[in-house]
Structure 1
C-alpha cells in the first residue's frame, strides 16, 4: 500500500492507497515543529482504529509546499514504517511534464502534482482551480505541459484579513447569504459581508476563468479541487469537473511511475 502525504500551508493530509483506490485519509494542521514521534502517535493510532496494519505500507511519497515540515515526515517514514519516503519533485520522482514558464523551479509541488493528475484523468486543454490557502488557477495544455496560471488570496485568507483589519466586523461562515441567497443587496452587516466575500469570490473566479478561456483560444475544461470546490460548484456553472482527490491522485500516479521503473 502507498501512504501519500500532501503537505499544504494549512493542513497535512495522509491518504492510504491500495492501487488507485483511497482506503482512508486523515488530516492534521500543518505545524513544521511537529516531530516524527508526534505524527506517529496520532497516525498509527488512527490507522489501527480503522483496521489498517502499518506494516502493509510499502511506499511513502510526500508532496510539500512547506519545506520545514519535510524532515520530520521523512523521519516518520524511516523510524516507524522502515521506509525512506520519496519526495515529489526530487529524484527519482520527476514531474514528467514540461513546465513552460519563466521560472520552472518556482512551481509549487501542489500545482505540479495537480498538473500530473489533471492531464492523466482528463483530456484536452485544462484549467485547474485549487481552493487552498491561496486559490490557484493553472493552465495545462493538451500535451500535459504546464503553461502558467494565476495565484489569488484564498477566501478564508481574505475573510481573516477583513475581520482582523476592521474592529467591528464579526467573523462569518463561508456560505451564501440565507434567504434569498441570489440577492446582492444586504440588509444587515452579516449578509453584506457574506455577499461581499462569497458572491465577490464567485465573480472573481468567473471573471478570471472567462479571461483565461479567451486567452487560450481553444475549447478548455475547468477542473476544480480543494475543500471548497463542492460548495462553489453549487452556485456557479464554470466547473466541468469537481475532483476533490486530484492532488492525492497525482501523488499516487507519481508513486506508480517510480514503482514501474
Structure 2
C-alpha cells in the first residue's frame, strides 16, 4: 500500500507491505502544487506499484496540501481506498491528552508503530527538520503525551537569518564538540546540541513515568541517523516508523470506510 506523510517542508511517500518498507521517496511540500501536479508526481515516483496498492494512508500537518491530495485522489485515483489519519480514526491506542485532536497524525502513527514493534513503555523521538518531537506510551500501552522542540533545519535557518556572519553550512557530524572553525562550530551546536536535548528530555520523561523497567527509546525521522550515534539512550533506530504506523492505521480503518 501507499503511505504518505505530508509534512511542513517535506512529503514522504512509501510502499509498505506487511510491515516492510519496500520503497520510499521524499519531495518538497510545495503548497502551490496542484492536484493534477501531485498526480503526475505520484505516478512518476510510484510507477507500477500504484496499480498493486490496496489503498492510501495519509498523515498531514499541512491542511492546504491535504486538500490537494483529496482532490487528486478523487480525480485521478478514485478506486483506491483512502484513510486520512485524524479525528474519528481508530488508532488502537488510548490517547490520554487534554485534547486528543491536537496530537499530530504523524505522532499517532509513530506511537502505534513503536508499540506494535516493541510494546510499552516506549518513547519515540522523531528528529525532524521542522520539529523534533517526543512521544510517550506508558507501560499500559496508553499514549500520555510528549514534547515538541525546534527541528534541526529550523534551527540552522534561524541562525542564518539572525547571525549575519554565519554562512549556510551542510548538516553533517563534526569531528568534535570543541570546533576549530565556524562551520564545524555550527555543526557541533546542531548535532551535539540536539543529542543533548534529546537525552535530557528522555531522562525527564522516564522519571515522570516512574523509571519503568524495559523502557525502549525509538529514534526516527530524517535526521535520526545523523544524531543517533551521539544519543546513548536510543535503543532502536527505525527510520521509516511513520510509514509503518500508517500501514497499521489503514488496516484498522479501511474496513469501516
**Fold-level similarity (TM above 0.5):** yes
| 8 Å CA contact 2:192, 2:230 repeated in 1 | no
Q: CA deviation at 1:117?
A: 0.9
Q: CA deviation at 1:53?
A: 4.9
Q: CA deviation at 1:222?
A: 0.5
**Paired position in structure 2 for 1:60:** 56
- SS of structure 2 residue aligned to 1:234: helix
Q: CA deviation at 1:221?
A: 1.2
Q: CA deviation at 1:17?
A: 2.5
Q: CA deviation at 1:201?
A: 1.8
| 8 Å CA contact 1:119, 1:142 repeated in 2 | no
Query: How many angstroms apart in 2 are the aligned matches of 1:127 and 1:140?
Result: 6
**Paired position in structure 2 for 1:125:** 121
Q: Summarize deviations over 1:179-219 as a string: whole Å, max 9, x none.
A: xx2xx333222232222222222211112212222221212
- SS of structure 2 residue aligned to 1:142: coil
**Paired position in structure 2 for 1:204:** 197
Is 1:253 matched with 2:248? yes
Matches within 5 A, 1:192-231: 192-217=185-210, 218-219=212-213, 220-231=215-226
**Paired position in structure 2 for 1:101:** 97
Q: Summarize deviations over 1:54-95 as a string: whole Å, max 9, x none.
A: 33223112111111111211122222222352211244x322
C-alpha distance 15-186 of structure 1, shift in aligned 2 (>3 A)? closer
C-alpha distance 151-254 of structure 1, shift in aligned 2 (>3 A)? same
Matches within 5 A, 1:15-164: 15-48=14-47, 52-82=48-78, 83-91=80-88, 93-132=89-128, 133-164=130-161
Q: Aligned-pair RMSD on alpha carbons?
A: 1.8
Using structure 1 for the length normalisation, give the TM-score. 0.89
Query: How many angstroms apart in 2 are the aligned matches of 1:63 and 1:167?
Result: 37
- SS of structure 2 residue aligned to 1:244: coil
**Paired position in structure 2 for 1:11:** 10
Query: How many angstroms apart in 1 are the aligned matches of 2:156 and 2:94?
Result: 35
C-alpha distance 192-47 of structure 1, shift in aligned 2 (>3 A)? closer
Structure 1: unaligned runs, 5 residues or longer: none
Query: How many angstroms apart in 2 are the aligned matches of 1:106 and 1:131?
Result: 20
Structure 1 or 2, whichever has the larger Rg, is 1
| 8 Å CA contact 1:57, 1:81 repeated in 2 | no
Structure 2: unaligned runs, 5 residues or longer: none
| 8 Å CA contact 2:81, 2:254 repeated in 1 | no
Deviation beyond 3 Å, 4+ runs, structure 1: none
Query: How many angstroms apart in 1 are the aligned matches of 2:119 and 2:81?
Result: 34
Using structure 2 for the length normalisation, give the TM-score. 0.91
Q: Summarize deviations over 1:128-173 as a string: whole Å, max 9, x none.
A: 1001210001111123211111111001111110111011111112
